[in-house]
Homo-oligomer: A and B are copies of this chain.
């Protein structure tokens, strides 16, 4: 049984150089994140451009993360494939490496038949076989699959499904479903612009791209929340919204990586077909970081 997952997880980006994984930069980034008050790292998630990684590249990243991470950081890996069997196979491989939990996006290719029953069967089969805790991942803006409250409740009853990551940003959904989940079920937010509000509704933590760029501020926000310092926390939440909007919807991964470059991490280029950030996007990211007093 995994203990409840809480706090801020950084959804690590994958550093590329000339189209290849630049493992040295990955190592450097983790060294820096190790000094921050983060709960752990997610490898090969959306922010890691997992959709663009080969299986061996993912394995390389996971091994490096397991080796380099500070002992207090938990390693979670995005291990979803579209088919149930492939997801099980890759999740088992991850389990053998010794990771803490598997983050598994809803399958979505055949949308019209991805009913609650199909999704429940999928996750139960994985959780039965996986040998590590399983965390379903709800990200309807990417997958086109919106899960129902009843499905979350059903999933929470499987002993090996220990939580959910919810990037929908749908607080009315979260607020209604959460009181119906076991108290040790982890509800992890993916939407950095409403992180504080999700916490105040009972979420246990977040898996955030924002924590790649400003890990300390994310940790501060979480700690202010824990300390009951709402005024400070809500001011901080307000302040980081334009940055989060820029690195998620508006400029995506390319925006996040450029912000990382400006702040002393290695961001580097995204993989094709994502285009590199244009000059106007760079200027907007710079302007946002200046307004946060993070660069001059």
Q: Which residues of A contact B (CB under 8 A)?
A: 19, 46, 49, 51-52, 54, 82-86, 107, 109-115, 117-119, 121-122, 125, 141-142, 144, 169, 171-172, 175-176, 179, 191, 193-194, 196-197, 200-202, 228, 230-231, 234, 237-238, 241-242, 244-245, 248-254, 271-275
Contacts and interface: CB of A to CB of B under 8 A. Distances in A.
B121 A275 contact: yes
Contacts of A19: 85
Report whether over half of chain A's contact residues are helix, strand or loop; otherwise say mixed: helix
B109 A271 contact: no
Given A125-B272, A271-B84, A171 B197 contact: yes
A110 B247 CA distance: 12
Nearest to A53: B83
A251 B193 contact: no
Contacts of A274: 110, 113, 118
A194 B193 contact: no
A290 B231 CA distance: 32
A272 B109 CA distance: 12
Contacts of A201: 234, 237-238, 241
Given A52-B86, A122-B272, A230-B234, 5 more contacts: A51-B109, A84-B271, A169-B171, A171-B171, A197-B197
B273 A84 contact: yes
Contact of A228 (B122, B125, B231, B250): B231
